[in-house]
Structure 1
Amino acid sequence: MKVFTQSVNFKADADLIKFAEKKVSGLEKFHDKIVDVEVFLKVQKTSDKENKITEIKINIPGNELIVKKVAKTFEEGVSTGVESLKRQLGKSKEKSKEKRKDSLVS
């Protein structure tokens, strides 16, 4: 599985990129057909403390899962985004199992 990380409006340090890639790599346990993952880290220019936007996009055959989180830190955004994606991947896997079952029956 390939993981692409992009930072927008700032230069992400190596530790942050490593953290994001490690967290996202754990998603392979929940779906075995993940093609690649794109992580976008953006800083919103605002006076609000929660100005870090994390977007994670997962490409799986026939589908694309996207989650967007706004948090005080990128680490928090990545962690909550990965938790959301675990649930989405579980649902997606169930749907694909049902589709396969339906196609075998018909």
Structure 2
Amino acid sequence: MNIKIQSVKFDADKKLIDYIEAKVGKLSQVADDILGAEVILKLDKSNSNDNKIAEIRIDIPHGTDIFAKKQSKSFEESVDNVAVALRRQLKKFKEKQRG
């Protein structure tokens, strides 16, 4: 699976990139036909602590994209929450495909 990671207005360190690749890579356990993933990391302009945003778009066959966006205190937590949401969406998509 091809994973493209983009960080907006900051540079993501190697540790964060490795973490994201591991989390997104595990989604292939749910759906082995994932073509690729695009990850966008942003900092919200608000002054609150919950200003780390992770958006992930999963490209799967049949012209369908699955998308989730979460915001929290750290990028790792945001990526975790997005991965949970995407896993749920992928399972629903697979069930609809079979049924």
- What band does the TM-score fall into relative to the shorter chain? over 0.9
Matches within 5 A, 1:1-106: 1-62=1-62, 63-98=64-99
- Structure with the greater alpha carbon radius of gyration: 1
> How many residues are aligned here?
98
User: What is the CA–CA distance in structure 2 between the aligned matches of 1:48 and 1:9, rounded to whole Å?
Assistant: 18
Give the % identical residues.
44
Q: CA deviation at 1:44?
A: 1.3
Q: Please give the root-mean-square deviation of Cα atoms over the aligned residues, in Å.
A: 0.7
Query: Partner letter of residue 83 of structure 1?
Result: V
| 1:104 alignment counterpart | none
Separation in 2 of the partners of 1:81 and 1:38?
12
Following superposition, which runs of at least 4 residues in structure 1 exceed 2 angstroms of deviation?
A: none
Cα distance in 2 between the residues matched to 1:11 and 1:87? 30
Question: Taking structure 1 as the reference length, what is the TM-score of the superposition?
Answer: 0.90
Q: Which amino acid aligns with 1:45?
A: K
Deviation at 1:32, TM superposition (A): 1.2
Gaps of 5+ in 2: none
Of Structure 1 and Structure 2, the greater helix share is in 1
